[in-house]
Structure 1
């Protein structure tokens, strides 16, 4: 019996060691948790909107005027309240992952300022999102505030992906692995994907699934903004194909070619979802799937850019007891 009780305790201790006495691989794993958490809360935010639960908790920071947690309310569906409150709770998952990244980055030996700066984005972003979330509620889901809410998550996701990539690299100046023009093509692709995400926000703020009957909409023609969105999609896919072709012709490193191929596959799948949801009058399930696809396109795009350069390998520890030595040095 004592052996069974010791197992969870040892797992907690080992988990704590990955934060308090981390190796680079530990920080990388926590950064991956941050990527998943940020992508996850972005998708659940879409679920809040498509289920009409945007004002399931009509006040902020409380769920109802007299309670921080859901309580029976005559004018609000219990399901909508549960969906919105559940999304708010996921903020704490993102915060825990962000704090773990920050502590691990600050405790890493040797400490690297670039990793610490990237890690700070996560808890700072959660604080910004919490305050902005209050504005979203108080504005009755104004499409501008809702759109900015999504874009802040996209920024936090970018920082988490960057932290994940940098944690496995050295601290040397960036060394190009491909021709300068190919790197420029990668930057142009990243900018195009960013524009695509903004256009997606405009389409979302113009179309159905506002999150609540009280929510306002952009006064745009939905057909026009949808076509503009599709035009940017064609641009992104074209740039991706051009980048993939250039990488293969120049025999670029395999990781870069593989990352570009994965990105193209994700984009094509996302395009299929987009057209299907358009012709089926934007069903709620496909909207959520489309938002998931958007986050994956963004993640894969950033992975391609990081694969086009190198900052050298991590320095090997002086001996096999680096974690114990770093812990002893701090105590």
Structure 2
């Protein structure tokens, strides 16, 4: 069946573009997947800070008798709508992931590296949805909630790498900075990963559990907050070191700007963190802090991938007449 891809409406053309993708349209869908997976972390935070974690008390249905919100004697409709809205966002993320897979399949010539990264998206969404059912059935156990967030963070990383790979070839990696600076970038990524892990521990210990029935980590909140802040200082220090090293070595402008952008996002995130702490963790700032954490992760990935490039696959040189004669 031929699908028309020359529709006069640009929105329709965009939606049909996975059937006849170009490098530019594929890149746009990959970037959309980064945004969509970042967005679901924020919608998940909204579920938690509004106390709507059990707004739909069953899974996969919203209530025992319905897949969509209906009046329930034990759950407020507002909480039900918030939780159901988060479930609907999952379908948006899945749709974008399917568009990336279709683009990878239809792209000519097909690139196996892009197809593999694209397939991670619908598979990850499926894993996330199944784990979400476990979150509900465990009554928002903080461990299951933490893993739920971390799966999203892993998907964001996969989506970013897909976006990055759509902008480059499949040739071998070539670093554009000194080897030790690239190693510093890898250490930075590891530190940001630990920072996110510490953040979910703080979340699982703090006041916004998602529902009054949810359990909490049996930890001292002051201690875990201090640990989280100490790791954040380490991350900021490493980011400053990366930006400084790139500046003094006259690294490519793309790498320098990416490192400075990361440092700026981290400083803003630090301000939000301290303000929410001194204001007794208001719900709005908690959601904003989750958005900031996701952006720090994305900008860290951007900064590190800016330290290397991939060119096109190098073709082997044609054999000389002498070599051909020797073979025969």
Is the 8 Å Cα contact of residues 168 and 311 (structure 2) preserved in structure 1?
Answer: yes
Partner of 1:194: 193
Q: Which residue of 2 is the match for residue 118 of structure 1?
A: 117
- 8 Å contact kept, 2:47–2:83: yes
Count of aligned pairs? 309
Aligned counterparts of 1:73 and 1:178: Cα–Cα separation in 2? 59
- Cα distance in 2 for residues equivalent to 1:17 and 1:63: 32
Of residues 79-88 and 103-112 in structure 1, the stretch that sits farther from structure 2 once superposed is: 103-112
Contact in 2 for aligned 1:168/1:314 (Cα 8 Å): no
Q: 1:242 to 1:12 in 2, by over 3 A?
A: closer
* Secondary structure of the corresponding residue to residue 310 of structure 1: strand
Match of 1:215 in 2: 214
CA deviation after TM superposition for structure 1 residue 314, in Å: 9.4
- Aligned-partner Cα distance in 2 for 1:11–1:64: 39
Q: Which residue in the other structure is 2:233 paired with?
A: 234
Partner of 2:105: 106
CA distance in 1, matches of 2:215, 2:90: 25
The gaps in structure 1 that reach 5 residues or longer are 1-6, 316-331
Query: Residues 172 and 313 of structure 2 are in contact (CA less than 8 Å); yes or no, is this contact kept in structure 1?
Result: no
TM norm structure 1: 0.91
Q: Secondary structure at the match of 1:175?
A: strand
| Match of residue 224 from structure 1 | 223
Kindly indicate whether residue 103 of structure 2 is the aligned counterpart of residue 97 of structure 1. Answer: no
- Residues in 1 aligned to 2:92 and 2:303: alpha-carbon distance in whole angstroms: 27
2:320 maps to: none
Whether contact under 8 Å (1:243, 1:260) holds in the other structure is yes
Corresponding residue of 1:295 = 294
Q: Distance in 2 between matches of 1:273 and 1:12?
A: 36
| Gap runs ≥5 in structure 2 | 1-5, 315-328
**TM-aligned CA distance change 1:66 to 1:17, over 3 Å:** closer
Q: Post-superposition shift, 1:20?
A: 1.2
* Mapped partners of 2:15, 2:212: distance in 1: 45
* Counterpart residue number, 1:66: 65
- 2:259 aligns to what? 260
Q: Secondary structure at the match of 1:76?
A: coil
**Residue of structure 2 equivalent to 1:38:** 37
Q: Which residue of 1 aligns with 2:79?
A: 80
Do 2:7 and 2:13's aligned partners in 1 also have CA atoms closer than 8 Å?
A: no
- Please, what TM-score do these two structures have when normalized by structure 2? 0.92
Q: CA deviation at 1:25?
A: 1.1
Residues of 1 paired with 2:57 and 2:278: CA distance? 33
Distance 1:248 1:290 in 2: 29
- 1:87-131 alpha-carbon deviations (Å, 9 max, x no partner): 000100000000000110111111111111110111001100110
Equivalent residue, structure 2, for 1:251: 250
- Asked whether 1:129 is paired with 2:128, we answer yes
Which residue is equivalent to 1:158?
Answer: 157
CA distance in 2, matches of 1:58, 1:152: 22
